[in-house]
């Protein structure tokens, strides 16, 4: 599981606690704070480089889990 949250997120503690509980339950968890971002930072896609980078990371991770090649390979 991948969890992304803005490091200025009001619920950042909840994201961290959720990741800790999932890890304790044996789930492979990747926890990522996106610098200077708040809740719903994903809506800044196409306008903020850090958000675009986070989306690219999400896509690479998902493609790897689905057994698809990384788009950078094409």
Q: What is the pLDDT of residues 48-69, one digit of tens each?
A: 999 999 999 999 999 999 999 9
The DSSP output letter for 5 is E
Distance CA 3, CA 33 (A): 8
* pTM score, whole prediction: 0.82
Q: What is the pLDDT of residues 14-45, one digit of tens each?
A: 999 999 999 999 999 999 999 999 999 999 99
User: Of all residues in the chain, what percent are helix, strand and coil, respectively (each to 5)?
Assistant: 50, 15, 35
Tokens representing residue 45 in the block = 């896609």
Domain boundaries, the chain: 2-73
């Amino acid at each position: 599981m991948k969890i992304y949250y803005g490091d200025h997120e009001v619920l950042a503690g909840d994201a961290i606690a959720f990741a800790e509980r999932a890890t304790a339950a044996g789930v492979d968890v990747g926890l990522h704070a996106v610098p200077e971002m708040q809740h719903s930072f994903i809506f800044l896609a196409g306008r903020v480089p850090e958000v675009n980078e986070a989306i690219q990371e999400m896509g690479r991770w998902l493609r790897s889990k689905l057994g698809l090649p990384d788009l950078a390979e094409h």
